Amino acid sequence: MASKSIRKDEEQQIQIHLITKQAQFAVPNTPYTIPSNVTVVELNNLINTILQENQNEMFTSEILFDFLVRGEFLKTSLLKHLKDNEISFEDVIDVEYVERFPAPEILDCLLHDDWVSAVQMCGELILTGSYDNSVNVWNMKGEHKLTLSGHEAPVKGVGWISLNEDNGTAVFASGSKDQTVMIWEYNINANKASCIFTCKGHERAVECLSISPNSKLLASGGWDNFLKIWSTSTLEDYHGSSKKMKIEDTNVRTPQTTLEGHREAISSVQWIDNSTILTSSWDHTMKIWDLEMKALKTEIPANKSIFEASHSPLNGMIIAASSDKNLRLFDPRSNHGTIVKSTFLGHSQWVSSVKWSKTEEFLFISGSYDNTVKLWDYRSPKAPLFDLIGHEDKVMVVDWSNPKYMVSGGSDNSLRIFKSKKVLEE
């Protein structure tokens, strides 16, 4: 089939194949001859023209696409991209196109009395921790449901253990600089909560916590450099078991396991599966722990302090936020070459927090002391997809537990909620 051209006045031409994994947007499999200095704008015009010519009843309005060459988003002219990546001009170039992820929409701003230092969503509920020592429960309507006092220092980690909408109950945990982790039982219908366990064992401030996928265990890390594992079983679990425990003994819990190996504070902890845990630290390392063996499985070196590391079950990779203003993509499965696959430049201050999307394998968000939240596609290391603005001071924490919403908390005392249009449109 003869090749097509979108502009004839250009001297240097390149042949490309337009390919996509999204079948509804597929175009005829034929080479297209295009000017070498085309940009994303002109490629979008070409794709939309072809779609409207071939399936005019389906595509009456313009669809925006992003374009990948050799697995990286096109952010410059095609000519510059090929030169920068040392790709031959003589071959037919495969150009993959994907529907552009829509810009998230600012939805709400929930004001706290002090810095927002911890957040996690579960369904339509939001759990936050603050520097005023409180734990707060909100809903996605922006309504403040509950403030819980009990900690004696700032709350640095929160996590949902269970949420049973049928009987209107939930269990969640909070970790604090007061060296404790507290487990709370929440009666949603009565809008009341109480601390049912206080987990004691850390010798310095608790910095982070995470709940296992099966909700049976809680992992915490802190400034004593220890990773500690706790049971999350409730009083009902104990009463229904053969274990005989005095009621007065059950409100204080000691760790089931203590793992040591980090040389400085543990900054983040995440369960990869029910027996594998990822930690990051100020000691310039990330570690993967085997809980069944109660031993270190893998150590991943970094060149700076890591403030948070996030593992994606969708792609098996780790994105790490660090003190040198950059994010780095690590593939812990690499057996040869460098384990660092990409470095993401764009923040101008410390990157404090990072989270993968749970439904989009290429996407993650980051928060920084430069007051911004950024949405990234790991195929675009040179620039984020979008800047999510609104914070007036340092961003301390981000969360993307609910695919519909991205949330961020900062030292401007606010929790910002951004709505993901793509999920809602689908």
- Going from N- to C-terminal start, the domains of the chain cover 4-99, 105-425
Q: pLDDT at position 366, please? A: 98
Average pLDDT over residues 270-299: 97
**Phi then psi dihedrals of residue 172, to 5 deg:** -145, 170
Q: Concatenated DSSP letters for 43-88?
A: HHHHHHHHHHHHSTTT--S---EEEEETTEE--S-HHHHHHHTT--
**Phi then psi dihedrals of residue 24, to 5 deg:** -70, -15
Q: Is the dihedral of CA 281, 272, 364, 334 positive or negative?
A: positive
Q: pLDDT at position 9, please? A: 42
CA separation for the pair 177, 224 (Å, rounded): 11
Strand 373-377 with 363-368, pairing: antiparallel
CATH fold for the domain made of 4-99: Ubiquitin-like (UB roll) (3.10.20)
CA separation for the pair 357, 225 (Å, rounded): 28
Element (H or E) spanning 239, and its range?
Answer: helix 235-239
CA separation for the pair 62, 74 (Å, rounded): 19
Strand 116-122 with 125-130, pairing: antiparallel
Residue 109 predicted with pLDDT over 80: yes
Average pLDDT, the chain: 91
Q: Concatenated DSSP letters for 252-318?
A: EE--SEEEE--SS-EEEEEEEETTEEEEEETTSEEEEEETTTTEEEEEEE-SS-EEEEEE-TTT--E
Banded model confidence at residue 67, pLDDT cuts 50, 70, 90: very high
Q: Tell me the C-alpha to C-alpha distance, in Å, between residue 51 and each of 59, 66, 89, 101, 265.
A: 7, 15, 26, 19, 54
Q: pLDDT at position 247, please? A: 41
CA separation for the pair 243, 240 (Å, rounded): 8
Average pLDDT over residues 311-340: 91
Structure token pair of residue 327? 């994010």
CA separation for the pair 397, 355 (Å, rounded): 9
**Is the CATH number of domain 105-425 2.130.10.10?**
yes
- Closest-CA residue to 69 (of 41, 88, 46): 88
Residue 419 predicted with pLDDT over 50: yes
Please give the residue that has the higher pLDDT: either 394 or 303.
Answer: 394
Whether the CB-CB separation of 187 and 172 falls below 8 Å is answered with no
Q: pLDDT at position 90, please? A: 83
Residue 243: how many CB atoms within 10 A of its CB?
A: 10
pLDDT, one tens digit per residue, over 211-265 is: 999 999 999 999 999 999 999 998 554 444 444 444 445 699 999 999 999 999 9
Q: Tell me the C-alpha to C-alpha distance, in Å, between residue 119 and each of 61, 169, 211, 342, 401.
A: 39, 19, 13, 27, 10
**Which stretches of 165-247 are assigned E, i.e. beta strand?**
169-176, 180-187, 192-200, 206-211, 217-222, 226-231
Give the predicted TM-score (pTM) of the model. 0.90
pLDDT, one tens digit per residue, over 110-150 is: 999 999 999 999 999 999 999 999 999 999 999 999 999 99
